[in-house]
Structure 1
């Protein structure tokens, strides 16, 4: 009988797992040579003082993984182990874990929302009703998203954003980044004009899908159409309702110029990201570019429900002009939809029941009050500080004219427990754009509790005035 120099310990790891691990180690090291017959289940169980089922489970796992062979009426025999597996002295390749994000007392990043504002009761009630009343939602639905949801989204966009489209033109997907990746695939090989400064992840997604990016400068009215003409792009990516990060809103005149640029040459398109359009505090936002262009216009429209509901509810939509819809269906028509049908139908009922518009109205009021309180606190604690972006969106730009420099402001804030970013982080420096304004940082306030505003302002003042 083969020597089996190990013992099993009661408690902790299951006995069958201990036995399996010990036998694998001996098989890999060659202590149990290939072709050797292992002890019978009853004999080994008696030697180890365990149940026969424990040994049988370990043996069956080894058979399933190719370490042992079970021969009828003969027992279990060791199989040859591949040399690369048998060299147990070789260190395993080290895969570093993802770094844990640092913790901060105040988080002013721009991706957060106030989760306390989520409509838990209404959303939960609708989901519960669907779980009991709509078992068909366990099956596959439309690849572009359930039709009644697309109709509800289309109605909402027409009423509040001036979008002109049919439900057939709408594609529902798991977040705007996913849909942006699909849209980028429609323009593979093209050159896209992107805003400078702008959202860095947009460049990454476009580049990963074979679209070359060219930065185009931003002025007080948004993306410069003169610079756009010079760059030779056939696709223009803009955030006209609320440019990130400068908070500029593109006026109607500049929007008209942009649409004329697209109309001048077949094959030119505008990709409109309607970022933060629902959070305008001074007046109703201008209609979308897509609405100005019309149903057959050269505009791809993107919007998301992440900011208005919650980032983890990955529902966004894309509106495609008819000719691009044909291209989309040819390329992606076999793709399954990436959003749970229960989530789709919950949002559908949330929209059609009037809950969403009431929820947005409540959020606007709360965020507007929070922004005003934050602005007052900062202007009091930091005399001379300049704030931009009070009219719309969920972040402010703060400039400290006599500050220690942007990099130093970010560093000192971090040391004081405040997470924020400098404006220069959003410049790619591949455009003929004015230099980044000095001493300017971005303050996202959506997830900032009202009670923390005075302490935050005092903390920043002490950090930057020291």
Structure 2
């Protein structure tokens, strides 16, 4: 055949051999290069395209592997016969991040997701990982317990008893990859007739999770103390999903009287349960930490959830839940076939990190880091935006701002983005949008922000929002 009319595109990140492979494959699929056609030799095609023979060999090898081309000894490369081929139209754009342009324009991002990346103990984590990967530890190559590594569960149980007042043993704990996985387990465990009550506003992924699983749920309005008993009864929900230690996103802490009310509600009927998501309870900067709701439960009505997403990193994807005895029995009978999705190596590394005291030291350090960031943020807002109200307890990794400058939530977000600052509106966390208040509330996360950037960003927001 004549030489290929192939042109190298140097403006894309696709390797040249893949470009050549894609071109020849497309020509074969379309019939432009018919069956039994001899392809140009590597030497001739190399001279024609001014590329190395190794590049051409790589393209030919891929075509041979997929059955488009067959090599014949001392004769060359020939096109194979293809029967009724179906060509898939696949976009050739590779490694192009979504909204890449907008991401580049963002100078300061007050995202709630993520942690301070400058203070992660990489050296210690690396050393423990190296020590854990031991050729004599055959357990590393086994599937392991469906509830997670027993040693890790024991260390988690001890930590929860000491720091959160949770009543449990390691046998009550299930380890998994993120709270979404834990909710998947619970959805399978409970009856399909169950109705889940979600905080409104609340964690935005929960309603999507329940929708995708065909589970029934009702958004329940919250007040300054959390879910009210009156709203719960109206909803007819029998399983509540709450964040009592630090409600997300309002930042309020559920008082003891409301906690007792919810426990009494749960005790009234056998099918009622409370799922307590203790997502960032490690970070309380003044006063004594509020004990977990589970510690007050004497009738096995509270399912306690926690994770290492805020205390260590969301990329670890290690979470856990404490099941009451009745539900654990049900889990073992019906769902113990579910393997723990967290790699055993990661579980053992985390176990050693906790057991050797590194986790406690890291938490103490990060409390000081985040406390200082929060103080800088709140002080900057107080000094530069006198009429802006900061909402939320002295805890967690975010604050809410109540802004009365006449701008809507969307206007506040859009105007900030135009000057390279990303802030977040609270309306996205409402399932039932009818409860959204007229006065806009803006959420600012500060964990990922550099201390020096916090003041700069607040100064820019003041000018942008025209706050006196």
Query: What's the TM-score once normalised by structure 1's chain length?
Result: 0.85
Hey, what does 1:397 align to over in structure 2?
400
**Would you say the 8 A contact 2:413–2:423 is kept in 1?**
yes
Question: What runs of 5+ residues in structure 1 fail to find an aligned partner?
Answer: none
Q: 1:252 aligns with which of 246, 256, 259?
A: 256
| 1:278-317 aligned within 5 A | 278-294=282-298, 297-317=300-320
Hey, what does 1:181 align to over in structure 2?
184
- Alignment partners' CA distance in 1, 2:264 and 2:439: 34
Provide the secondary structure at the position in 2 that maps to 1:282. coil
- Alignment partners' CA distance in 2, 1:141 and 1:235: 31
Query: What's the TM-score once normalised by structure 2's chain length?
Result: 0.85
**Would you say the 8 A contact 2:427–2:433 is kept in 1?**
no
- List per-residue Cα deviations over 1:367-425 (Å, max 9, x = no partner): 22221222111111011221122411111111123442322222222122221112222
Q: CA deviation at 1:362?
A: 1.6
Larger Rg over CA atoms:
1
**Would you say the 8 A contact 1:400–1:440 is kept in 2?**
yes
Hey, what does 1:460 align to over in structure 2?
461
Change (3 A) 1:218 1:81: same
- Alignment partners' CA distance in 1, 2:248 and 2:15: 54
| 1:328-347 aligned within 5 A | 328-347=331-350
Greater mean alpha carbon deviation, residues 133-142 or residues 405-414: 133-142
Change (3 A) 1:383 1:266: same
Greater mean alpha carbon deviation, residues 441-450 or residues 318-327: 318-327
Residue 197 (structure 1) aligned with residue 195 (structure 2): no
Report how many aligned residue pairs link the two structures.
Answer: 453
Q: CA deviation at 1:258?
A: 0.6
**Would you say the 8 A contact 1:8–1:15 is kept in 2?**
no
Hey, what does 2:4 align to over in structure 1?
6
Change (3 A) 1:253 1:63: same
Residue 443 (structure 1) aligned with residue 459 (structure 2): no
Greater mean alpha carbon deviation, residues 325-334 or residues 222-231: 325-334
Question: What runs of 5+ residues in structure 2 fail to find an aligned partner?
Answer: none
**Would you say the 8 A contact 2:6–2:23 is kept in 1?**
no
Residue 167 (structure 1) aligned with residue 165 (structure 2): no
Hey, what does 2:117 align to over in structure 1?
115
Q: CA deviation at 1:45?
A: 6.7
Provide the secondary structure at the position in 1 that maps to 2:320. strand
- Alignment partners' CA distance in 2, 1:443 and 1:46: 61
- Alignment partners' CA distance in 1, 2:457 and 2:72: 72
Change (3 A) 1:327 1:24: same
Q: CA deviation at 1:18?
A: 8.3
Q: CA deviation at 1:204?
A: 0.9
- Alignment partners' CA distance in 2, 1:73 and 1:320: 69
Change (3 A) 1:26 1:243: closer
- List per-residue Cα deviations over 1:339-360 (Å, max 9, x = no partner): 1222211111111112212221
Q: CA deviation at 1:133?
A: 6.8
- Alignment partners' CA distance in 2, 1:120 and 1:427: 37
Hey, what does 2:29 align to over in structure 1?
28
Residue 348 (structure 1) aligned with residue 351 (structure 2): yes
- Alignment partners' CA distance in 2, 1:46 and 1:377: 68
**Would you say the 8 A contact 1:8–1:48 is kept in 2?**
no
Change (3 A) 1:270 1:134: farther
What value does the CA root-mean-square deviation take over the aligned residues? 3.5
- Alignment partners' CA distance in 2, 1:306 and 1:386: 28
Greater mean alpha carbon deviation, residues 144-153 or residues 124-133: 124-133
Change (3 A) 1:17 1:143: same
Hey, what does 2:222 align to over in structure 1?
218
- List per-residue Cα deviations over 1:128-166 (Å, max 9, x = no partner): 221247643243322221100001001101111111122
Hey, what does 1:406 align to over in structure 2?
409
Change (3 A) 1:149 1:4: same
Change (3 A) 1:29 1:407: closer
- List per-residue Cα deviations over 1:81-100 (Å, max 9, x = no partner): 244547xxx96578997433
Hey, what does 1:230 align to over in structure 2?
234
Residue 128 (structure 1) aligned with residue 126 (structure 2): no
- Alignment partners' CA distance in 2, 1:220 and 1:46: 77
- Alignment partners' CA distance in 2, 1:49 and 1:356: 58
